[in-house]
Amino acid sequence: MGEEVNMAAATATAAAAAEEEESTVLPTTTSTTATATTTTKQPEVLHFVLVHGISGGAWCWYKIKCLMENSGYKVSCIDLKSSGIETSDANSILSFNDYNQPLLDFLSTLPENEQVILVGHSAGGLSVTQASHMFGRKKIRLAVYVAATMLKLGYLTDEDFKHGVPDLSGFGDDVYELGFGLGSDQPPTSAIVKKEYQRKIIYQMSPQEDSTLAAMLLRPGPIQAILTAQLTEADSSDDGVERVPRVYIRTIHDHVVKPEQQEAMIKGWPPKNVYVLDSDHSPFFSAPFLLFGLIVKAVASVECD
């Protein structure tokens, strides 16, 4: 009887040991299998390059940059010559190529297979167009114009000036503070909207704190360089400006690039899609969530085609 008890105990002990051994082996096998199957390709991260208008700077985009980065996108904001923290004097920038060089240099340093979405505001549209000519579809996935100058070849005709140059005469004859770097008998080389007019003209629907910030950071812009911007087909890369998809975002309460000017440029060089914002000239301040949504929607509309 004692042997039977001892044998039963021994059998139970052996079974328990076998069960314990089995339980220590199985997780190791499972872990090895799980490790072997976790080699999935990482999704592509879209890269947005944001370009300011005259007198502005990379700082203009601070709200949009936050929204984009919080959503997982990569964002680069460019300071063109004499803008933001770039130290050049606007009166010394006399050619558009010189003014736009920071954007062109940035695009030139991108990895060979990387494409970006260019977003240009106001006169930044000229910068986007020149970049599209030079780099084409190889580097530029999409060009987005936000209340921007959208002229295929820049300022070549009287009609181009009529459609693409802000006309602020309705606010009086003394709206701009001008600089004459080449002498008082020569055309102005720089311009900035005077502080007392800035909110009324540029930021009338924007939060007070944003227009206050802008008044502290706006700098004279190289007006001569911008108004002499002329782009030719000879500037185009092999795949050309026409192969870069374009989207225009209209701002219907704009006092700078007026709605009728925007409509004329859209008609003159039709983009793939047009969206409308109920905003002033500066939707990155007055309607940042809506602007962010439209930019992302613009990318999706092109990717789905």
Most confident of 2-11, 20-29, 195-204: 195-204
| Residue 3 binned pLDDT confidence (cut-offs 50, 70, 90) | very low
For residue 28, pLDDT over 50 is answered with: no
Tokens of 128: 């986007």
Yes or no: say if 123 and 148 are a contact pair by the CB < 8 Å rule: yes
Residue 24 lies inside a defined structural domain of this protein: no
- The helix (run of H) or strand (run of E) holding residue 247 is strand 246-251
For residue 143, pLDDT over 50 is answered with: yes
Yes or no: say if 81 and 220 are a contact pair by the CB < 8 Å rule: no
Cα separation, 291 vs 261, in Å, equals: 20
> What average pLDDT does this structure show over 169-174?
95
> Pick from 85, 130, 134: which is nearest to 225 by CA?
130
The pLDDT of residue 15: 44
Number of domains composing the chain: 1
Residue 103 lies inside a defined structural domain of this protein: yes
pTM, entire model:
0.86
Residue 34 lies inside a defined structural domain of this protein: no
Residue 19 lies inside a defined structural domain of this protein: no
- DSSP string across 101-112: HHHHHHHHTS-T
> Pick from 262, 285, 260: which is nearest to 275 by CA?
262
| Helix pair 62-70, 288-303: axis angle to 10 deg | 50
Domain with residue 120: its CATH number is 3.40.50.1820
For residue 26, pLDDT over 70 is answered with: no
Domain boundaries, position 213:
47-303
Residue 198 lies inside a defined structural domain of this protein: yes
Which residues are tagged catalytic?
122, 254, 281
Residues 120, 122, 126, CA angle at the centre, nearest 5°? 65
Residue 20 lies inside a defined structural domain of this protein: no
| Residue 240 binned pLDDT confidence (cut-offs 50, 70, 90) | confident
> What average pLDDT does this structure show over 23-41?
45
Among 28-42, 56-70, 105-119, 185-199, the least confident range: 28-42
Residue 133 lies inside a defined structural domain of this protein: yes
Residue 125 lies inside a defined structural domain of this protein: yes
> What average pLDDT does this structure show over 55-75?
99
The pLDDT of residue 43: 78
User: What stretches of 107-243 adopt beta strand conformation (E)?
Assistant: 116-121, 140-146, 176-179, 190-193
> Pick from 83, 114, 110, 80: which is nearest to 98 by CA?
80
> Pick from 112, 138, 110: which is nearest to 49 by CA?
110
Yes or no: say if 157 and 248 are a contact pair by the CB < 8 Å rule: no
- The average confidence (pLDDT) of the chain is 89
